[in-house]
Amino acid sequence: MEWFLRRADKISAIAEMAAGIAHEIRNPLAAIRWSLEAMALRFPEAKKELCAMTDELARVDSIVGELLVLAKPADVQFEAVRVVDVLEVVCLLLQSQARKQKVKIQVVIQDHDLTVLGQPSHLKQLFLNLMKNALEAMRTGGELEIDIRNSNDDYVIVSMVDDGPGIPPEVLPRLGEPFFTTKPNGTGLGLMTCHKIVRDHGGSLHIANRKPHGTHVEVRLPILKDGMLKRSGKCASGNEVSI
């Protein structure tokens, strides 16, 4: 018993340290990015190499970002967050990537006021990761439909349906496994982070294939109403997975 306690203490100390280190790494990364951007202006002949360095830096930054969420203790400050506000910011962030890839993002909002008790930056990361996956699956364009609604059983449902190839059956059970990726430049940390975020928020994440093709991702988060939360669980089977 004591051994387990000591071990748990050690793990949480390591997690706290990892979060601290990840946070510290972000500042020098930002400084390097600014310098690279300044160099690209001063040395146009080296633009290609500098762009490649900026891309790699963005990758390091995204790994550090995931680590920050994964290592952070679950008892971070939660506040009332309107789901529509978070999605609006994420849509803005991904607007140019979507335009470049000829993906049309369609958002249907059934209730603008749906609010959850959450950590705004983590919720942003959750939807950013899911929407990025959808965009990355639609290399040749398509439509990403996002629907925000009330489940009528005290949950906000954010459902995302993409037009991509869907997820092969052998890949489905591996989703959320650390470092599991099918992309040449993937980190395999995105869904694992999403899973931690929904779990910390008392919600669930459900991923299924959609016929004839495409992926359907559903996030359920407990609604905050008059300062009160109600919670329950949900499972899945067959050609789908809850991670």
Q: Is 2 helix (H, G, I), strand (E, B) or coil?
A: helix
Q: How far apart are CA 184 and CA 203, in angstroms?
A: 31
209-to-17, 96, 157, 195, 235 alpha-carbon distances in Å: 38, 26, 17, 18, 16
Mapped to the 3 state alphabet, what secondary structure does 34-95 carry? HHHHHHHHHCHHHHHHHHHHHHHHHHHHHHHHHHHHHHCCCCCCCEEEEHHHHHHHHHHHHH
CB of 48 to ligand ADP, least distance (A): 25
Helices (H), 101-214: 120-137, 190-200
Name which position in 115, 119, 133, 242 contacts Mg ion (CB under 5 A): 133
Residue at shortest CB range from ligand ADP: 190
Classify residue 176 as left (phi > 0), alpha (psi -120 to 50) or beta. left
Which CB sits closer to ligand ADP, 162 or 200? Answer: 162
242 binds ligand ADP (CB under 6 A): no
Asked if residue 186 binds ligand ADP (CB under 6 A), the reply is: yes
Total binding residues toward ligand ADP, as defined by CB under 6 A: 19
Select the span of 14-22, 132-140, 192-200, 215-223 touching Mg ion (CB under 5 A). Answer: 132-140
Element (H, E) at 96: helix 83-100
Out of 110, 182, 232, 239, which residue is the one contacting ligand ADP (CB under 6 A)?
182
Report the nearest approach of ligand ADP to the CB of residue 147 (Å). 15
Report in angstroms how near the CB of residue 12 gets to Mg ion at its nearest.
27
Residue of 173, 185, 102 whose CA lies nearest to 141: 102
Dihedral-angle region of residue 198 (phi above 0 means left; psi in -120 to 50 means alpha; beta otherwise): alpha
- State the CB neighbour count (10 A cutoff) for residue 100: 10
> Whole-number minimum distance, CB 198 to ligand ADP, in Å?
13
Site pattern 200..229 for ligand ADP (x: CB under 6 A)? ---------------x--------------
The residues in 122-181 that bind ligand ADP, with binding defined as CB under 6 A, are 129, 133-134, 137, 162, 164, 167, 171, 175, 180-181
Find out whether 193 and 235 touch, Cβ atoms under 8 Å: no
Is residue 65 at the binding interface for ligand ADP, with CB under 6 A as the rule? Answer: no
Q: Nearer to ligand ADP by C-beta: 103 or 137?
A: 137
- Cα–Cα distance, 146 to 103 (Å, whole number): 13
The site partner of 70 among ligand ADP, Mg ion, none (C-beta below 5 to 8 Å per kind) is none
Residues found near Mg ion in the complex (CB under 5 A): 133, 190
Residues found near ligand ADP in the complex (CB under 6 A): 129, 133-134, 137, 162, 164, 167, 171, 175, 180-183, 186-188, 190-191, 215
